Amino acid sequence: MLSAFVFGARAGRLSSWKQWLLKTGFQTLKVFIVPGEDVLRALGLELASTGLTIARNPREADILLITGPLPAGLAENAAVIFAQMPRPRLLAVMGELDIAPLPAPAIRLPLTQAGLLALRPEACRLLTAQGWAPEAQPFAPAFIEQVIAGQQEKGDHKGSGSMNHSAMEPGGMDMEGMMKDLDRSGMKPPPDAAALPVHGPHEHHSMPKAADKPSGEETTNEPAADGQHAHHTMPPTDTKEPPAADSPDPGHHQPHAAQAGHEHSAIPAGPMPHTEGMDMPDMMGDQMKPEAGAEMPGMDMSGMDMGFMSMVEMTKDLPRSADGLPMEASEAAFGPFFPGLPGGLNLRLHLDGDNVTKAVITPGQPDQSRADRLPLPAREFAPWLAGLDPLTPAAYHLLAHRALAQAMRLPATAALPQLIALEQERIASHLNWLIDFGVTIGHAWLRQAAEHLYWQLRQVPDQPAAVTAFVRQVRRLPLLRQSLTGVGQIPAPLLHHARGPVAKAAGISHDARQLDPLYQQAGFVPIVRAENNVWGRLQVRLQEMLQSQELVHRLARLDPVSPTPTFPTTDQAAAGTGRATVETPRGTATLEVALQSGQVTAYTLHAPSALHVALVNEFVREQELGDALKTIASLDISPWTITA
Amino acid sequence: MENPLTLLVVLLLFGGGVYALAVLEYWSVAGQLAWGRPARLVLHLLLQEEIRPRQSDTVLYETAPVLFLAAAALAAAVLPWSADAPLLGLATGALFVNAAFAYVMVAMLMGGWAVNGVYAMLGGWRFLGQLIAYSMPLVMALTATVMRAESMLPARIVTSQLALWNIVYQPIGFGLFYLAALALAFLPPFDFPVAAGELAGGVWAEFTGTRLLLFRLGRLLLIMTLALAVTVFFLGGWQGPWLPGFAWTFLKTLLVAASFFGVGRYLPRLRYDQLLEWSWKYATPAALVNILWVGILLLL
Amino acid sequence: MTPLQLLFLGVFGLAAVWFGWRVFRTKSMVRSALSLLAAMVALGGMFLALDAEFLGVLQIMMMAGEMSIMAFFMMMYMMDPGGMSSMNMTHQQRPAAAVGIGAGVLVLALALLTPWPPAQALAPSATQQNHDLGIELMTRSMMIFETAGTSILVAMIAAVATALAYPQQPD
Amino acid sequence: MKSIPHYLLLLGMLVVTVAFALVLYLLKASLGKPLAEPGKDVPAESGQLALKPAWVRYHVHYYGFALLFLCFDMEMAFMYPWAVVYKELGMTALLDMGVFLMILFLGLVYTWNQGGLKRQ
The DSSP element (H or E) to which A10 belongs, if any, is strand A10-11
Put the strands of the sheet holding A355-362 in their side by side order.
A330-333, A346-352, A355-362, A623-624
Which has the closest alpha carbon to C148: B46, A293, A304, D100?
Answer: D100
- pLDDT, residue B283, reads 92
Residue A264 domain-assigned? yes
Between the alpha carbon of residue D75 and those of residues B28, C15, C29, C36, the distances in Å are 38, 28, 28, 22
- Mean per-residue pLDDT, B232-255: 87
Query: Residues in chain C with pLDDT < 70?
Result: 86-89, 165-171
Nearest chain A residue to B45 by CA: give it: A25
- pLDDT, residue B110, reads 92
Q: How many domains does chain B have?
A: 1
CA angle B99, B102, B104 (to 5 degrees): 125
Residue A571: how many other CB atoms lie within 10 Å: 14
Chain C nearest CA to D20, separation (Å):
22
DSSP-based helix, strand, coil % in chain D, nearest 5: 65, 5, 30
- Mean per-residue pLDDT, A501-511: 87
**CATH of the domain spanning C1-81:** 1.20.120.1200
Q: Are B283 and B182 in contact (CB under 8 A)?
A: no
DSSP state for residue A639 in the 8-state scheme: G
Q: Three-class SS of residue B83?
A: coil
- pLDDT, residue A513, reads 85
DSSP state for residue C138 in the 8-state scheme: H
Report the C-alpha gap between A640 and A344 in whole angstroms: 8
- State the amino acid at position A315 in one-letter form: T
Q: Are B205 and B117 in contact (CB under 8 A)?
A: yes
The parent domain of residue D16 ranges over 1-33
- Mean per-residue pLDDT, A487-506: 87
- Give the tens place of pLDDT for each residue, D52-86: 888 888 888 888 888 889 888 888 888 888 888 88
pLDDT band at B87 (very low <50, low <70, confident <90, very high): low
Chain D nearest CA to C73, separation (Å):
8
- pLDDT, residue A411, reads 67
Q: Are A629 and A340 in contact (CB under 8 A)?
A: yes
- pLDDT, residue A186, reads 37
Chain B nearest CA to A311, separation (Å):
23
Mutate to test the interface with A, among C28, C79, C80, C86 (most CBs of A within 10 A): C79
pLDDT > 70: what percent of chain A? 70
Residue A151 domain-assigned? no
Which has the closest alpha carbon to B255: B167, B159, B127?
Answer: B167
pLDDT at A101 over 90: no
Q: Which residue stretches of B150-188 are H helix?
A: 154-159, 166-169, 171-184
Query: Worst-scoring range by mean pLDDT, A319-328, A385-394, A538-547, A635-644?
Result: A319-328
pLDDT band at A143 (very low <50, low <70, confident <90, very high): confident
* Contacts with A84 from chain D: Cβ below 8 Å: 39-40, 42, 44
DSSP for A165-225, please give it. Answer: S-TT-TTSHHHHHHHHHHHHHTPPPPTTTTTGGG-TTS-EEE----TT--GGGG-----GG
- Give the tens place of pLDDT for each residue, B19-40: 999 998 888 877 778 888 899 8
CA angle B99, B104, B106 (to 5 degrees): 90
Residue A563 domain-assigned? yes
Nearest chain C residue to D81 by CA: give it: C134
DSSP state for residue C21 in the 8-state scheme: H
- pLDDT, residue C89, reads 66
Which has the closest alpha carbon to A60: A37, A32, A102, A22?
Answer: A32
The parent domain of residue A619 ranges over 368-641
The DSSP element (H or E) to which A34 belongs, if any, is strand A30-34
Which chains reach chain D with 3 or more Cβ–Cβ distances below 8 angstroms? A, B, C
Which has the closest alpha carbon to C33: C20, C17, C43, C45?
Answer: C20
pLDDT > 90: what percent of chain A? 13
Query: Worst-scoring range by mean pLDDT, A211-215, A469-473, C41-45?
Result: A211-215
CB-based burial, B110-131: b 16+ in 10 Å, e otherwise: bbbbbbbbbbbbbbbbbbbbbb
The interface residues of chain C toward chain D in range 130-149, judged by CB-CB distance below 8 A, are 130-131, 133-135, 137-139, 142, 145-146, 148-149
CA angle C86, C92, C94 (to 5 degrees): 110
Chain C nearest CA to D32, separation (Å):
31
Q: What are the E-state strand segments in A481-607?
A: 576-584, 587-596, 599-606
Contact B269 A340 (CB under 8 A): no
DSSP for A310-373, please give it. Answer: -HHHHTTTSPB-TTS-B---EEEE--SS-TTSPTT-EEEEEEETTEEEEEEEEPPPP-HHHHTT
Does residue A259 sit in the same domain as residue A399? Answer: no
- Expressed in angstroms, the distance from the first to the final Cα of chain A is 38
pLDDT at B249 over 60: yes
Tell whether D56 is within 8 A of chain A (Cβ).
Answer: yes
pLDDT at A523 over 50: yes
* A538: Cα separation from own chain's centroid: 18
DSSP-based helix, strand, coil % in chain B, nearest 5: 75, 0, 25
Q: What residues does A396 pair with on adjacent strands?
A: none
Q: How many domains does chain A have?
A: 3
Residue D42 domain-assigned? no
B136 contacts: CB under 8 Å, gap ≥ 6: B279, B280, B283, B284, B287, D69, D72, D76
Nearest chain A residue to D58 by CA: give it: A353
Contact A308 C91 (CB under 8 A): yes
- State the amino acid at position A68 in one-letter form: G
- pLDDT, residue B9, reads 81
- Give the tens place of pLDDT for each residue, C90-138: 778 899 999 999 999 999 999 999 988 887 777 788 888 888 888 888 8
Q: Most confidently modeled of A37-41, A197-201, D48-52?
A: A37-41
Contact C166 D114 (CB under 8 A): yes
The interface residues of chain B toward chain D in range 233-262, judged by CB-CB distance below 8 A, are none
Residue A340 domain-assigned? no
pLDDT band at B57 (very low <50, low <70, confident <90, very high): confident
Which has the closest alpha carbon to A247: A353, A322, A317?
Answer: A322
DSSP state for residue D33 in the 8-state scheme: P
Report the C-alpha gap between A424 and A616 in whole angstroms: 28
A480 contacts: CB under 8 Å, gap ≥ 6: A441, A443, A446, A474, A535, B268
Q: Three-class SS of residue A606?
A: strand
- State the amino acid at position A591 in one-letter form: L
Report the C-alpha gap between A69 and A562 in whole angstroms: 36
- Give the tens place of pLDDT for each residue, A150-197: 877 765 544 333 333 333 333 333 333 333 333 333 333 333 333 333
- At residue A108, what are phi and psi to the nearest 5 degrees? -115, 130
Residue A349 domain-assigned? no
- pLDDT, residue B214, reads 93
Does residue A559 sit in the same domain as residue A630? Answer: yes
Whether the upstream peptide bond of residue A103 has omega within 30° of 0, thus cis, is: no
Does residue A459 sit in the same domain as residue A589? Answer: yes
pLDDT band at B259 (very low <50, low <70, confident <90, very high): very high
- State the amino acid at position A579 in one-letter form: R
Residue D99 domain-assigned? yes
- Smallest Cβ distance to D103: which of C125, C142, C150? C150
* A95: Cα separation from own chain's centroid: 23
Chain C nearest CA to A621, separation (Å):
21
- Smallest Cβ distance to C64: which of B91, B96, B102? B102
DSSP for A363-425, please give it. Answer: PPPP-HHHHTT-SEEHHHHHHHHHTT-TT-HHHHHHHHHHHHHHHTT---PPPHHHHHHHHHH
pLDDT band at D44 (very low <50, low <70, confident <90, very high): confident
- At residue D28, what are phi and psi to the nearest 5 degrees? -60, -45
Report the C-alpha gap between D61 and B25 in whole angstroms: 32
- pLDDT, residue D22, reads 93
- Smallest Cβ distance to C85: which of A243, A294, A324? A294
- State the amino acid at position C84 in one-letter form: M
- Smallest Cβ distance to D55: which of B89, B116, B276? B116
DSSP for A92-141, please give it. Answer: EEESS---TTS---SEEE-SSHHHHHTHHHHHHHHHHHHSEETT------
- State the amino acid at position C78 in one-letter form: M
Contact C61 B98 (CB under 8 A): yes
pLDDT at B222 over 90: yes
Contact B210 D25 (CB under 8 A): yes
The parent domain of residue B218 ranges over 4-299
Chain B nearest CA to A63, separation (Å):
13
Residue A517: how many other CB atoms lie within 10 Å: 9
pLDDT > 70: what percent of chain B? 98
Chain B nearest CA to D87, separation (Å):
7
Residue A464 domain-assigned? yes
Nearest chain C residue to B56 by CA: give it: C82
Q: How many domains does chain D have?
A: 2
Tell whether A306 is within 8 A of chain C (Cβ).
Answer: yes
- pLDDT, residue A291, reads 38
Which has the closest alpha carbon to A95: A76, A107, A108?
Answer: A108
DSSP state for residue A234 in the 8-state scheme: P
* Contacts with C129 from chain B: Cβ below 8 Å: 91
DSSP-based helix, strand, coil % in chain A, nearest 5: 40, 15, 45
Residue A345 domain-assigned? no
Q: What is the largest CA-CA distance in chain C?
A: 63
Strand A355-362 to strand A623-624: parallel, antiparallel, or no bridges (unpaired)? Answer: antiparallel
- Smallest Cβ distance to C91: which of A296, A307, A314? A307
pLDDT band at A265 (very low <50, low <70, confident <90, very high): very low
Q: What residues does A32 pair with on adjacent strands?
A: A64
The DSSP element (H or E) to which A54 belongs, if any, is strand A53-54
Mutate to test the interface with B, among A15, A28, A474, A487 (most CBs of B within 10 A): A28
Report the C-alpha gap between A251 and A234 in whole angstroms: 28
Which has the closest alpha carbon to C155: C33, C35, C66, C60?
Answer: C66
